[in-house]
Structure 1
Amino acid sequence: MAFPLFDLAGRRALVTGSGQGIGFAIAEGLAAHGASVLVNGRSAEKLAGAVRALRDKGYSAQAAPFDVTDGAAAAQMVAVIEAETGPIDILVNNAGMQFRAPLEDYPTEKWDELLRTNVSSVFHVSRAVARPMIARGRGKIINIASVQSELARTGIAPYTATKGAVRNLTRGMSADWAKYGLQINAIAPGYFKTPLNQALVEDPDFTAWLEKRTPAGRWGEVGELVGAAVFLAGDASSFVNGHTLYVDGGMSTSV
């Protein structure tokens, strides 16, 4: 192989929230580089479609349905996968949600749901996967942060808070687990065309603002996150730890 540092053959990757959007693109990218992928989500229909699409391309894929916000369910599923399928070598914590509202009117229940989905899920699944990784002395954990880990925008203060937490949780995981041979890093996407952002994509005023605000002058395409994911999942990043890699067209670097 021309690039063995990016070869994921023989490795198993669990990608949360991978029935569509960024999660599916990353799962497909890891599979294209040789990994066997476990597709996670709560919708059986979306998972079945995602697994079918991956298998139709000749990739190794299976569904791993569980609620990432439920710590007991995460621990149980990880134990089943490790016992019946094999070790999880790579974890991508991608599951997330968004809810937009003025901060002064933000519903308490949505705040709680955001914390569970965007932050607690990363803790629950990472802890479950890290335990056997620590015992083996190796493993890769990739958390999906956001350009909002660094920046803020009106109407999404709670989301910004959760993604800032993901960035610092990534650092904390590295501080605790790097000594065991694990590499824990984050990818921080800018604005990408995804189902989560569909309302913004269809808003011509927002798109005009985005194109002006982003040095690259456009929305990102989900496939453009694959290179970062493969880098952080493979041997090329063996001494990269606690880092957040911004894939944002330059948005976080300019005013």
Structure 2
Amino acid sequence: MDFTTSITGPIAVIGDVHGHTRRLQGLLDQIKRLKDYDRRWIVFIGDLVDRGPDPKGAIDLVLQLKAEHPLTTAIAGNHELAMSAAVRRVPTTPDSTWPHRWLDHYGARPTFESYGVPFGDLSRLAATLPEEHGRYLSDLPWCVDHPEYFFVHAGLEPHSPFSVQRSILQARDFTLSRPQWLCSKNLTIGPEGQPATVPADCHQTVVSGHVRVPSVLMTRKRILIDTSGGEADGVLSCVLLPEMEILYSS
């Protein structure tokens, strides 16, 4: 499946959906009313699946949007990576722990239920998964570039060169047991609750989800947009760029 990884122009970036299809539909209804909708990119920051009530429906909705609105792209979150590795849609190492981790630590039960598969039956889930869903999961890029912004699910390691990290992300190194750019909370938020820093040679604003925050956090170099976390009391957020305006699910 084709995902654009280098974009320009205005953007609507959407936080971690985690199976909350109604929240996503509410946000998309608002985005579609924007005057510049036809030329605005929609970027999903990852984690469509797990935790919430309808992961399958969330993927269906994004695929429908992608077909209707060509300026739509997405990146992998740690939940898509875990799911795709568990059902063997992406390469894994012989000692991969992804199946165990996904089942035990990722809130995967609603994902199984949404596909009508008993929880834990990975073989049946792999067989039941629509081919288009499988290709969506397996082909997700790990980052999206824009002249002013860099989209990555968790964040960047502040003490490593940006150019090196970007190359690893673009290559999608599936031999890594836990890619920190998708999985590490320390790359998202600092000990004082402020956005984690980025490499000195990164001149773009880094946009991420991954860690739930009470409200969207925006600094000159970081934007954190996961205000839902897939929880029942969460609200799904969308940030319009470059306007720095925030839309919330109803």
Calculate the TM-score normalised by the size of structure 1.
0.31
**Larger proportion of helix:** 1
CA radius of gyration, larger in: 1
